[in-house]
Amino acid sequence: MSQIQSIVARRIWDSRGIPTVEVELALEDGTIGRGIAPAGASRGQHEALELRDAGEAFGGKDVQQALQGLRHEIAPALLGMDAREQAAVDQRLIELDGTPNKSRLGANAIVATSMAVLNAAANSACKPLWRYLAGDAAASLPMPQIQIFGGGAHAGRRVDVQDFMVIAIGATSFEQSLEMTAEVYRHAGLLMQRKGTLMGVADEGGWWPAFSKNEQALDTLVAAIEAAGYTPGLDVGIALDIAASEFFADGKYRLALDNRSLDSNGFAELLMRWIEQYPIVSIEDPLSESDEQGLIDFTREAGHRIQIVGDDYLVTDATRIRAAAACGACNTVLIKPNQIGTMTETRAAIDAAKAVGYKTIVSARSGETEDTMIVHLATGWDAGQLKVGSFARSERMAKWNEGIRIETSSGASLPFANGFRRMA
């Protein structure tokens, strides 16, 4: 019944107007499942590799090779396999590719296939994906981390820090966390408009700011939280994704906006000052993925007070997560399925994080589509937190809206994961 009967691969377009891979497969019982590969702009060097054609078309980013591999290798290899056997399908994909970083068939082709298989299996069981994933285990609505200003690689490097986000730490439901964030986002836009610092929206829908210092972003964020009627640090906290690998070279962190260059200790001290001065509850990639000692030291300094999230450094890889725990770097893991390439390996990364006592945040990429699968992953896998960009643009809102649907249709059975409440 749930045998894979046909697989269609097509090129569709992501939120930046860049080609991406969609896989649609049909099972013998007539159900279909779809998977769409997202795409990052600030990638970790240990991520699985997405296959792009190079050449003239679409800035070298076409995906015809990935589609060829899907049609001529992946599809014939998976036909007849049982979609409920996710681990076996994913193992088949890994063996078929045969490289350590999925570079031959492409992580974009592989992740889209793996996602499609999982969706098909859930559809065949007539269950929403989150419920199919949870089975008898615990599930919860995740706490959202929502971007207010975009920077770094997502806003022409206008500010050095990539994401200035908020977490509605006082919220008692998913829906309420969105209501609170909507007001903060709106007030941030109004404040910036008044001061002439609003340039539009960045890649993930956050305001594109014309600030003259990184601290101006933090000050504006605090002012926006207050203007929205909330107490910073009590109702709403600040989360940053420094994405520090992006401006680290030759042992130095180069802050273009502040016209400063700092060594690892100096940059960590700057971040510690920000933690003292602002209601920061979470910092992602505070130091470069290649500055492991810096990450260890920073975690020792600040890890008991705030969340220290590994994205570029951990790349959703269970082996890297266990190694980081052994040396004491970070205390939270960002989970992006296309960093590792299959659903089974993504789940293994979550399990590895939980086993070492690290928290988890399921995350979208800056290049997204209308696909809402990650909301179900975060819920069904009881991940605790969800990061999908800002509170604008439909590829982001589709995810927040899906969370509302899950919350309101599940009755009281599904708790809202607010692990920050004790901070408030």
Strand 207-209 vs strand 237-241: parallel, antiparallel, or unpaired?
Answer: unpaired
Minimum separation from the CB atom of position 244 to ligand PGA (A): 10
- As to burial, measured by CB atoms within 10 angstroms (0-12 exposed, 13-18 middle, 19+ buried), residue 169 is buried
- Catalytic site residue 204? yes
Residues 6+ apart with CB under 8 A from 414: 139, 140, 141, 379, 406, 407
Q: Is 395 in the site for ligand PGA (CB under 6 A)?
A: no
Q: Residue 228 phi/psi, 5° resolution? A: -80, -5
Q: Is 395 in the site for Zn ion (CB under 5 A)?
A: no
Q: Is 140 in the site for ligand PGA (CB under 6 A)?
A: no
Helix (H) or strand (E) holding 395: helix 394-409
Q: Is 243 in the site for ligand PGA (CB under 6 A)?
A: yes
CA distance 172 to 208: 30
Whether 118 and 110 have beta carbons less than 8 Å apart is answered as no
The listed partner (ligand PGA, Zn ion, none) that binds 41, CB under 5 to 8 Å by sort, is ligand PGA
Nearer to Zn ion, 235 or 284 (CB): 284
Whether 384 and 282 have beta carbons less than 8 Å apart is answered as no
DSSP string for residues in 152-220: GGGTTTSSSSSEEEEE-TT-SSHHHHHHHHHHHHHHHHHHHHHHT-EEEE-TTSSEEE--SSHHHHHHH
* One residue of 241, 289, 345, 395 binding Zn ion per CB under 5 A: 241
Whether 152 and 214 have beta carbons less than 8 Å apart is answered as no
Q: Which of residues 271-290 bind Zn ion (CB under 5 A)?
A: 284
Biggest alpha carbon–alpha carbon distance for the chain: 62
Q: Nearest-CB residue to ligand PGA?
A: 40
Residues 6+ apart with CB under 8 A from 360: 332, 333, 335, 350, 353, 354, 381, 383, 384, 385
Q: Is 147 in the site for ligand PGA (CB under 6 A)?
A: no
Q: Is 366 in the site for ligand PGA (CB under 6 A)?
A: yes
CA distance 195 to 213: 14
Nearer to ligand PGA, 366 or 369 (CB): 366
Stretch that binds ligand PGA, among 63-71, 205-213, 359-367, 416-424 (CB under 6 A): 359-367
Nearer to ligand PGA, 134 or 388 (CB): 388
Nearer to ligand PGA, 241 or 317 (CB): 241
* One residue of 50, 160, 291, 311 binding ligand PGA per CB under 6 A: 311
Which of these is catalytic: 204, 246, 289, 368?
A: 204
Nearer to Zn ion, 117 or 202 (CB): 202
Which of these is catalytic: 336, 359, 387, 399?
A: 336
Amino acid of residue 395? E
The listed partner (Zn ion, ligand PGA, none) that binds 398, CB under 5 to 8 Å by sort, is none
- Catalytic site residue 289? no
Q: Is 61 in the site for ligand PGA (CB under 6 A)?
A: no
Nearer to ligand PGA, 42 or 119 (CB): 42
The listed partner (ligand PGA, Zn ion, none) that binds 270, CB under 5 to 8 Å by sort, is none
By annotation, the residues acting in catalysis are: 204, 336
Q: Which residues bind Zn ion (CB under 5 A)?
A: 241, 284, 311
